[in-house]
Amino acid sequence: MDFVFGLPPDAADNTGVVIFVDRLSKMAHLVAVPDTIDGEGTTSLFLDRVFRQHGLPEAVVSDRDPRFTGKFRTSIFAVLGTRLDKSTADHPQTDGQTERVNRVVEDVLRNICAETPKHWRAMLPLVEFALNNAVHASTGYTPFYVNGLSHPRVPLTPPRPGSGLSGGKKFAERLADISPLAVRKLVDAFLSTRLSVLRHVRDSMAESQDKQKEHADAKGRSNVNCYEVGDLVLLNTKKLPTHAVSAGFKTKLCPRFIGPFKVVTKKMRSRPVFYVGLLKPYLDPARLAASDPTGAVTSS
């Protein structure tokens, strides 16, 4: 599970979405939340949207956001017997499936907000439905089918005479039976709007997934270094407090890397541990000078 914030405030001052994704079925649940939500509020949403419909999971993977840790972990999950696993810092792939859903949801909501920025919350049910009714690449099935071994009935089909989808003519006949005419027009407009949003969501999802694949294929892994005990490394300072890097420089002038530090075995639980992506091999200047084929030329 994870949060997506930065959306335009709706009528209830919600500016974000909490996303729950089932590891097996890939089913997703989206809930609008304010940026002031705390651990207790997150716990209530978990019980209402996940536990109520699916029961207790064996484990929950989340990032190190305080909304997920602290009281949320030690109280509810400790009592219920569900393990809360925290993703590794600077390594979102630990909860990769939620991160991928986040990107799709962000892209879809961005497209929706471009047209109706204040009404994104009203579209969340349709976004969630489209996510759960789309075939997942890793399973070959929709989350709806994996979760319940059945496909949801989708009666919202455009009234096209002669179409076999949802009865075609029957749908138009059912619509014609509605009276008075004003109500019929409202129903038709309501369903047409929802159908348009669903098509828009599906198109946005497909476009987002294509972009993510192209980006992943082009970028690849940026850090493939492997280190052994005793190796000397430099540490990136972007995650360190300024006073730990330099007491005399402003932030802009702080060095990007500090060190060297020696890689040691993990013995003490309190010893700091850093993600490998923040490290790079230390190259001894003396060895570099000795191996420099150009050398320094001095005049006699």
pTM for the predicted model, two decimal places:
0.54
CA angle centred on 275, ends 269 and 280, rounded to 5°: 125
What's the pLDDT at 163?
A: 41
A 10 A CB-CB count for 131 gives: 26
Kindly give the confidence (pLDDT) of every residue in the chain, 300 residues in length, as a single tens digit, with 9 standing for 90 and above.
788 888 888 888 998 899 898 887 889 999 999 989 887 788 888 888 888 888 887 877 776 566 655 665 556 666 677 776 665 444 444 445 666 777 777 777 776 666 667 778 888 888 888 888 888 777 778 888 888 878 887 755 444 444 444 444 565 666 666 666 666 676 667 667 666 666 666 666 566 566 666 666 665 555 567 888 888 998 888 777 766 665 554 444 467 788 888 888 877 666 677 778 788 888 877 665 555 554 444 444
Structure tokens at 79: 């009592």
**Gap between the Cα atoms of 234 and 257, Å rounded:** 6
Domain coordinates of the chain in residue numbers? Answer: 1-152, 155-220, 232-290
- Nearest to 160, CA basis, from 152, 148, 150, 168: 168
Is the Cβ–Cβ distance between 242 and 254 less than 8 Å? yes
Amino acid at residue number 172: A
pLDDT for 94: 44
Give the bridge partners for 31, in sequence order: 18
User: In this structure, what token pair is assigned to residue 219?
Assistant: 């970028």
Give the pairing type, strands 16-21 and 2-5. Answer: antiparallel
First to last CA, the chain: 70
Looking up tokens 């709007």, which residue turns up?
193
Determine the 3-state secondary structure of 261 from DSSP. Answer: strand
pLDDT at 29: 93
Say what the pLDDT of residue 30 is.
93
3-state secondary structure of 84: strand
Residue among 259, 266, 253 at smallest CA distance from 281: 259
> What tokens were used for 158?
């455009």
Core vs surface per residue 52-87: b (16+ CB within 10 A) or e: eeeeebeebbbbebebbeeebbeebbeeeebebebb
Cα–Cα distance measured from residue 65 to residue 67, given in angstroms and rounded to the nearest whole number: 5
pLDDT, position 71: 60
What fold, for 1-152? Nucleotidyltransferase; domain 5 (3.30.420)
At 296 the pLDDT is: 46
State the angle between helix axes of 181-219 and 169-176 in degrees (0 to 180), rounded to the nearest 10: 140
Q: Say how far apart CA 8 and CA 15 lie, in whole Å.
A: 6
